[in-house]
Amino acid sequence: MFLLLSVFGLVVVMDQVTKAMIVARLQEGAFTAGIGGVRFRHVTNRRNPWGSIRAVRLMMVVWLALVVMTGIVGALIQIPALHIALGALAGGATGNLIDGISRSGVTDFIDLRVWPVFNLADTAIVAGAVFLLWTLLHVQR
């Protein structure tokens, strides 16, 4: 369970710190060169229904259910790879939820130019889901 909580916390902190850096350094829509072909572009995704009280309540219920299920599975199944995957998934979801509620939209900033702009929380969610699938298919219990 320590590994799950560590990954969860690391993802949330890294996500929030990088989003705060982008908000502080780049105006909405502005971009700067990154590493390789990647550039950083400040985009706020407001297509999510964060403004509605009803939507926020629904998202909180879904998030709480995700966290509770993650905790139960993490406590019952002692497979480190599973804990890493679940921590990344829950951390990414939490990072975007915090952003959506506190900023009325999710801050995205990683621009590959051939893909929609995304953030570290999105990356953690996708990586966690892929790693979870791999773990379920390959790890011996």
| Catalytic residue list | 108, 122
- 110: its two tokens: 């990683």
Alpha helices in the chain, H assignment, sequence order: 2-25, 53-76, 80-103, 120-138
Residues shown for the chain: 141
Give the position of tokens 């560590």: 6
CB 63 within 8 A of CB 91: no
Reported as half-sphere exposure (CB side, CA atoms, 13 A), residue 82 has a value of 18
Residue 78 vs residues 9, 81, 83, 126: alpha-carbon distances, Å: 19, 9, 8, 22
